Amino acid sequence: MAKRDYYDVLGVQRNASEADIKKAFRRLAMKYHPDRNPGDNEAEAKFKEAKLAYDVLTDAKKRSAYDQFGHAGVDGAGPGFGGFSGGAPGDFADIFGDVFGDIFGGRGGTRRSQRGVDLRYDLALTLEEAVAGKEVKIRLPTWVDCQFCNGSGAKPGTKPKTCPTCGGHGQVRMQQGFFSIQQTCPECRGSGTVIEEPCPHCRGRGRIQEEKTLSVKVPAGVDTGDRIRLAGEGERGEQGGPAGDLYVQIQVKEHPIFTREDANLYCQVPISFVIAALGGELEVPTLDGKVMLKIPPGTQTGKMFRVRNKGVKPVRGGVVGDLICRVLIETPVDLTERQKELLREFEVSVQEGGSRHNPQSHSWLDGVKSFFEKMGL
């Protein structure tokens, strides 16, 4: 059976919400429902196709599998064998009621050339790899025609037979109360053929899953959310249709030191209060080695220092970003008696100097004082 991309079938974006998907399906269902199009096989096929797409895309697990592996991800068994059950009445029932639940649930559709579905591959990179670029080998599952049965699923030397139950139509009519209803043939599950002796190699599926290795050139400067398109590496087309594309979705892992924002890198640098007060130089890391960072005397905590051109060169071009170091002044801990003594001595000396050594504390204290005065405290 020719299969179109489920998102295309419903006419929704790949990031569509469940509500959007429901809405889109309702619209199509109203248009193509067989009750409204009696005798119109094309409408019925469209209806079934939409139903199948709806079932997959409203099931979080199936949707995720479909996004990654295409139809192969949600259709474990190949055409004509087992088959993906599109006929689960559950979701359908809430729209049209139980009676119709399993009538239109079968497989069907016209055999037409269809472009294969686009697939997604999630690729995790370290920050260094994302910044420098890298050639990555990825392995992904792919379905190929079984060589033993040439994709028929029948044991070599035998052929799939026309289904005796439905005579090859894939559908059977049956009477249920007042209704004469058409139902997916339970014997062949809508394919119209049955395999009497399945091919032992593919167990009747006609296809076997293999792993293919692809080489992906990740350009320098990519960031989380960027996608690399590999044309023609998605799911293969049906009936001679072209293959879909593979989208490699980049996810940059957290870095122990740096965080990235666009082209800039950020890092926190703890310094002692002595260096902060006296000034000094310290070594800070960059993605390509170390640089010396000059700390001027009287540096306050939270101050940012910019190291030019030590950020990232954006993948879409533009100037190289900067490395921005934010200093954090660390309060010394676990002091010896001698060190405490020195600090007390130091504090006395600072107090003697008045407000000029601690301008922020003094202006804050002045503010608190006038606040209390206003309150009459």
Q: Does 149 count as an annotated binding residue?
A: yes
Amino acid at 223: D
CB burial readout 219-237, b (16+ within 10 A) else e: eebbbeebebebeebbbbb
* Secondary structure letter of residue 340 according to DSSP: H
Q: Give the integer Cα–Cα distance in Å for 163 and 170.
A: 8
Dihedral sign of CA atoms 341, 347, 349, 351 in order: negative
Part in contact with Zn ion (CB under 5 A); list of ranges 70-78, 140-148, 230-238, 357-365: 140-148
Question: Does residue 201 touch Zn ion according to CB under 5 A?
Answer: yes
Nearest approach in angstroms of CB 194 to Zn ion is: 7
> According to CB under 5 A, which one of 187, 216, 241, 282 is a site residue for Zn ion?
187
> According to CB under 5 A, which one of 162, 165, 209, 264 is a site residue for Zn ion?
165
Strand ranges, E, within 43-133: 119-125
Q: Among residues 83 and 221, whose Cβ is nearest to Zn ion?
A: 83
Query: How many angstroms from the chain centroid is the CA of residue 289?
Result: 33
Q: Which helix (H) or strand (E) holds 74?
A: helix 71-74
Site size toward Zn ion, by CB under 5 A: 12
Nearest approach in angstroms of CB 200 to Zn ion is: 8
Q: Does 267 count as an annotated binding residue?
A: no
Amino acid at 88: A
> According to CB under 5 A, which one of 1, 53, 146, 295 is a site residue for Zn ion?
146
**Which residues ranging from 167 to 186 are in contact with Zn ion (CB under 5 A)?**
185
Part in contact with Zn ion (CB under 5 A); list of ranges 14-22, 197-205, 264-272, 345-353: 197-205
Q: Give the integer Cα–Cα distance in Å for 76 and 61.
A: 14
Question: Does residue 195 touch Zn ion according to CB under 5 A?
Answer: no
Question: Does residue 166 touch Zn ion according to CB under 5 A?
Answer: yes
User: Residue 289 is encoded by which pair of tokens?
Assistant: 């080695």
Q: Which helix (H) or strand (E) holds 249?
A: strand 246-252
Nearest approach in angstroms of CB 202 to Zn ion is: 3
User: Residue 44 is encoded by which pair of tokens?
Assistant: 């019925």
User: Residue 92 is encoded by which pair of tokens?
Assistant: 């359908």
Least Cα distance to 163 among 83, 226, 97, 87 occurs for 83
Nearest approach in angstroms of CB 131 to Zn ion is: 47
> According to CB under 5 A, which one of 21, 74, 199, 293 is a site residue for Zn ion?
199
Q: Does 325 count as an annotated binding residue?
A: no
Part in contact with Zn ion (CB under 5 A); list of ranges 74-82, 115-123, 146-154, 300-308: 146-154
Residues that bind Zn ion (CB under 5 A): 146, 148-149, 163, 165-166, 185, 187-188, 199, 201-202
Feature table: binding site for Zn(2+): 146, 149, 163, 166, 185, 188, 199, 202
